[in-house]
Amino acid sequence: MKKILIIEDDNLIIKILEFILKKEGYEIYIAKDGNQGIEEISIVKPDLIITDIMMPYKSGLEITAYVKKNHPTIPIIIVSALGKEDQTVIEGFKLGVDDFIAKPFNPIELVLRVKRFV
């Protein structure tokens, strides 16, 4: 079973992502802030990371930089309320983010984008 680590501080978004992805047969792990997310990466060894950009302690960009340096084969999808043209999202792509999904997201689009990587 493929493992997905969700790094997100919004409980509603966590529940939605978890529901959609468990239904698709993925094993889901949750981290509610950037520090916990980085700890979980080494423990879980996920096949995919889905992260928000703005979170407590470490941002999605800091997580991306860490992953691309230490675990470069793990793909990362950013799910954020920021628009695709936002400078922060552009910075994410420069750091190596593999995909971006805007909040609110379409569940079908989410599943299709996840399937591209796992």
| Residue range 8-63, pLDDT digits in tens | 999 999 999 999 999 999 999 999 999 999 999 999 999 999 999 988 999 999 99
Q: Please tell me the pTM assigned to this model.
A: 0.94
Query: How confident is the model at residue 85, as a pLDDT?
Result: 62
Kindly report the length of the chain. 118
Total number of domains in the chain: 1
Distance separating alpha carbons of residues 71 and 95, to the nearest angstrom: 13
Distance separating alpha carbons of residues 98 and 32, to the nearest angstrom: 21
Query: How confident is the model at residue 69, as a pLDDT?
Result: 96
Span 64-117, pLDDT tens digits: 999 999 999 999 999 988 766 678 878 889 999 999 998 888 999 999 999 999
Give the CATH number of the domain where residue 49 resides.
3.40.50.2300
Residues spanned by the domain of 28: 3-117
Joined together, the tokens standing for residue 80 give 């954020």
Q: Tell whether omega for the bond before 104 is within 30 degrees of 0, i.e. cis.
A: yes
